[in-house]
Structure 1
Amino acid sequence: MQPAASVDSETPRAAATVVLLREADTGPEVLLLRRHAKASNMAGIYVFPGGKLDAEDSTLDAATHLDQPHATLHASLNEPDTDGPIAAGLYVAALREALEECGLLLAEPLDAGAPLDADQARALLRAGQPFAQVLAALRLRLQTRHLAPWSRWITPLAPTMGTRRFDTRFFVAQAPAGQTARHDDEETTDSVWLAPRKALEQYRDGAIDLAPPQIMSLAHLARHASVASVLSAARSQRPPLILPEPFDHDGVRVLCYPGDAMHPVRERALPGPTRLHYRERRFTPEAGFDALFD
């Protein structure tokens, strides 16, 4: 077994993703958005809302528009080598992308009793107004307390899907009550709430396409019986750093995760299988689909 040839050695771009959850009769459901079929990266793939960190995300006036100071957010992220403003900016990026991509606004009015208009905030953002100006115009404070750091994924040097590399922090959060998630019909063309296992079954059956971070994250989420369980687990752990190791073995693309015999990190970072094989346009564990939940 030999490592796959590197096709891209660019420095990973800082990014943030928010896994939005809601409670259903059968347990938690997760929001997935389908990226546009002509997108430059991850075209047609169902993903969690998210995107790259913008410079303005790290310069937002924390005293006015954040419910926690930079120092608290930096400590919660648990990345000592990441600058405080950048750490806070990752929270802001996750909340900004949630508003832009699916219309969900995790914020509160600065003025007691004032209404919260997520549709207006999204319209202003999509019209080109900087996020800071939107928050100032509508007098809003972001609810960073609702975000719990979940994991950190860094695209390998030889990406399997797409060509860009990202250093993405995954957060989990309960979707705000009284708001409706809607894709934007530009960057994303479909939105769906699914139980994590149901999403993976649809992927197995070819109904939707998923990337490996989503596959492994959904398998992790499928082990929880409630949104509260997910949030509690996230807040009681140190977010694992996951840098997949790609290999080619007998003509099959393989992705290994921490704890696998072929990965340099010996300690497991995730439940479930430690490697995925890419066969017939699907990533699956070597032992089959059900191994995602073992």
Structure 2
Amino acid sequence: MTDSTAPQIPLDAATIVLLRDSDQGIQTLLLRRDTRLANMAGMYVFPGGKLDAADQESACTALLDQPPASLHAALAEAAISDSAAAGLHVAALREALEECGMLLAEPARGDARLDAVRARQMLHDGQGFAQVLRTLGLRMATRALVPWSRWITPIAPALATRRFDTRFFLALAPAHQYAMHDNEETTASLWCTARGALERYRDGSISLAPPQIMSLAHLSRYATAAQALAAARSQHPPTIQPHVFAQDGLQMHCYPGDASHPVHQRALPGPTRLVRDGNSFLPLQGFEALFA
């Protein structure tokens, strides 16, 4: 007999934070999840999803632009295998194509066709990611991905029905490609500066979950995509498992470096905790504390 109250083992997942420069500053892509979905319904998220078994199979690893061992080293996670690390990179690239139509790939042969629209349609028609790339003469551009952070859903049953162990990757959005939601899992697309997205959240026009709030606050500290990518390359991606507890009748979400978090070393810039007020999560000191 299983214990339904036991914490669920987090599912491995990957998220890709696509970046582009604009006159307003660095922008990132957010997608609105369908309101009928069981998890994070109606919220704006970065493209991503769970690791599929096929992401680790030889058909995919044969199309990598660098060895699985190098991808493992980039993640700096001793507890996972080379194939799992490679699979997480594959999952990020696959989800970028599935969810928003962005194809991060490069030619593998002379007749290669970097056709993101066709590639996405082939996926939609049921072809596997590796099959799509082979047909188009492409291989995966894992070098375009920079591991940024690792978020583990906290042990708090009231917050979510499923837990995920999600690796966040930064990447430049491919030039001359057009990002668009899939009208299945996602129903709207938004290119926005990090601060602009957070202001929309503050004003109630979009919904965000704490990992997106904290990641956007982090991203807001960079003026260009190159700065953000360089900062991510300069360190191993920190692991962030929020600690959730009640204090003075409020639900607190605290992060590494907070006095109430078991990990004392800070992992992120900005506030070390958010307080939940209904469906809103903000620092105790107010909105501007996200950028302090």
* TM-score with structure 2 setting the length: 0.96
Match of 2:105 among 104, 107, 110: 107
* TM-score with structure 1 setting the length: 0.95
Q: How does 1:90-239 map to 2 (within 5 A)?
A: 90-112=88-110, 114-159=112-157, 161-239=159-237
Provide the aligned C-alpha RMSD in A.
Answer: 1.4
Instruction: Give me the whole-angstrom Cα distance separating, in 2, the residues matched to 1:45 and 1:160.
Output: 17
Q: Is the 8 A contact 1:62 1:68 kept in 2?
A: no
Q: Is the 8 A contact 2:112 2:137 kept in 1?
A: no
Q: Is the 8 A contact 2:48 2:96 kept in 1?
A: yes
Residue 84 of structure 1: aligned partner = 82
Secondary structure, counterpart of 1:253 in structure 2: strand
Q: Is the 8 A contact 1:28 1:195 kept in 2?
A: yes
**Structure 2 counterpart of 1:248, which letter?**
A
Instruction: Give me the whole-angstrom Cα distance separating, in 2, the residues matched to 1:158 and 1:63.
Output: 35
Any runs of at least 4 consecutive aligned residues in structure 1 with deviations exceeding 6 A, and if so which? none
> How far off is 1:111 after superposition?
1.9
Residue 23 of structure 2: aligned partner = 25
Residue 290 of structure 1: aligned partner = 288
Secondary structure, counterpart of 2:26 in structure 1: strand
Match of 1:50 among 48, 51, 62: 48
Task: Name stretches of at least 5 consecutive residues in structure 2 with no aligned partner.
Answer: none
Relative distance call for 1:195 and 1:60 in structure 2 (3 A) is: farther
**Structure 1 counterpart of 2:27, which letter?**
E
Q: Is the 8 A contact 1:36 1:188 kept in 2?
A: yes
How many residue pairs are counted as aligned between the two chains? 289
Residue 255 of structure 2: aligned partner = 257
> How far off is 1:62 after superposition?
6.0
> How far off is 1:63 after superposition?
6.5
Q: How does 1:1-40 map to 2 (within 5 A)?
A: 9-40=7-38
1:242 pairs with 2:240: yes
Task: Name stretches of at least 5 consecutive residues in structure 1 with no aligned partner.
Answer: 1-5
> How far off is 1:65 after superposition?
1.0
Instruction: Give me the whole-angstrom Cα distance separating, in 1, the residues matched to 2:5 and 2:258.
Output: 23
Instruction: Give me the whole-angstrom Cα distance separating, in 2, the residues matched to 1:63 and 1:245.
Output: 36
- Choose 11-20 or 54-63, whichever is displaced more: 54-63
> How far off is 1:113 after superposition?
6.1
Q: Is the 8 A contact 1:8 1:159 kept in 2?
A: no
1:35-89 CA deviation, whole Å, 9 max, x = no partner? 0000110000000000000011011446741111111111111111111000000
Instruction: Give me the whole-angstrom Cα distance separating, in 2, the residues matched to 1:77 and 1:128.
Output: 30
Instruction: Give me the whole-angstrom Cα distance separating, in 1, the residues matched to 2:62 and 2:136.
Output: 12
1:82-107 CA deviation, whole Å, 9 max, x = no partner? 11000000000000000000000000
Secondary structure, counterpart of 2:83 in structure 1: helix
Instruction: Give me the whole-angstrom Cα distance separating, in 1, the residues matched to 2:160 and 2:250.
Output: 18
**Structure 1 counterpart of 2:234, which letter?**
S
Instruction: Give me the whole-angstrom Cα distance separating, in 1, the residues matched to 2:247 and 2:76.
Output: 35
Q: Sequence identity, in percent? A: 61
**Structure 2 counterpart of 1:173, which letter?**
A
Secondary structure, counterpart of 1:98 in structure 2: helix
Instruction: Give me the whole-angstrom Cα distance separating, in 2, the residues matched to 1:60 and 1:158.
Output: 36
Residue 3 of structure 1: aligned partner = none
Q: Is the 8 A contact 1:8 1:157 kept in 2?
A: no
Q: Is the 8 A contact 1:60 1:132 kept in 2?
A: no
Q: Is the 8 A contact 2:283 2:290 kept in 1?
A: yes
Instruction: Give me the whole-angstrom Cα distance separating, in 1, the residues matched to 2:7 and 2:278.
Output: 27
**Structure 1 counterpart of 2:133, which letter?**
L
Instruction: Give me the whole-angstrom Cα distance separating, in 2, the residues matched to 1:63 and 1:77.
Output: 16
Instruction: Give me the whole-angstrom Cα distance separating, in 1, the residues matched to 2:61 and 2:243.
Output: 41
